[in-house]
Structure 1
C-alpha cells in the first residue's frame, strides 16, 4: 500500500470533522455524551494548533493525524482512519511517521485514548505505549523516544 501524506488545508475542514464524527462519536458519547455543535467547535479550535496531515491512498483521503511538537514532548492529538479503510495498516503507517518524528527529535510521544475504545487502547499497548494516567474515561499513554517505528509494523 503506497500512502501519501499532505498538510490539511481549510477546504478539508468539513471532511476532517465528518471523519472525526464517524470514527469517534460512539467513544465520545460513551465517555461524555455528544453535542454536535460543541464537538465541532472544539474540533475546529484544536486543529488551529499543531500539524494536521491527511493520509491519502490512490488519491483518496482515508484518514488524518494531528499532533503538536511541544518543548519537551510530542502530543498526538488525533489519529482517525475512515471506518471503511480501517484494519489495512493505514493507522500503523501514520503512527510510524509520528513515532519517527519523536525518535528524531528525541522527545517522548504522548496520546490520549478513550478507555472504552479497547481496540485502540490494546493496539497502542502492543506497540509499546505505557499508561501513565487514567481517569476512568480517558487514559494518557506515553512512548519513550527510543522506541522504534518498526514496532508499529510488527504489531499491526
Structure 2
C-alpha cells in the first residue's frame, strides 16, 4: 500500500471534521459528554488548516494529521484514520514519515494521547516514551537522534 501525505485544501474541511467526530466521539462522550454545538466550535478553534496534511493510501483520502513546530520539537497534534482503514499499517507509516522528517531536522517529536486510547501501544513500539501526564492524557516524546 502506497501511503503519502498531501497538502490540506479548503475542500477537505468536511472530511476532516466528520472523521474527527467519527473517531473521537466515544472518548469525548465518556469524559465530557457530547454537545454537538460545542464540539463544532471547539473543532473550528483548534484545527488549523496550515498544520494539516491529508493521509492518502493508494490514492484514496483515508485520514489526516495535524502537526506543527513547537519550540524545538515537531508536535504531532492529531492523527485520524478512517475506521475501515485502521489496523492496516497506515498510522505506522505516517508516524515513520514524521520521525524521518524529525531526524533530518535533528528535532524530537512530541505528542499527547488520551490515556484510554489504544494507540498508546503503537507510539511506545515506535520509540515514544511518556514524559509526564495529567488526568486524561499521557505526554510523549521521541528523540530520533537517540533511536
| Superposition TM-score, scaled by structure 2 size | 0.90
Structure 1 residue 100 corresponds to structure 2 residue 100: yes
1:22 alignment partner, SS class:
helix
Root mean square deviation of aligned Cα:
1.6
Whether the 8 Å CA contact 2:76–2:110 is kept in 1: the answer is yes
Q: Any idea what SS the aligned residue of 1:132 has?
A: strand
SS, match of residue 146 in structure 1: helix
Alignment correspondent of 2:64: 64
Hey, what does 1:142 align to over in structure 2?
141
Instruction: Give SS of 2:75's match.
Output: strand
Helix, strand or coil at the partner of 2:40: helix
Per the TM alignment, residue 139 of structure 1 is displaced from its structure 2 partner at its CA by: 1.0
Deviations 1:52-85 (A, max 9, x none): 1111123321111110012311110101110000
Question: 1:126 maps to what in 2?
Answer: 125
Q: Unaligned regions of 5+ residues in structure 1, if any?
A: 149-156
**2: CA distance, partners of 1:38 / 1:78:** 19
1:14 partner SS = helix
After TM superposition, give the deviation of residue 116 of structure 1 in Å: 0.9
Q: CA deviation at 1:88?
A: 0.7
Instruction: Give the unaligned 5+ runs of structure 2.
Output: none
Kept after mapping to 1: 8 A contact 2:113/2:139? yes
- After TM superposition, the score normalised by the length of structure 1 is 0.86
Residue 26 of structure 1: aligned partner: 26
SS at match of 1:107: coil
Q: 1:124, CA displacement in angstroms?
A: 0.8
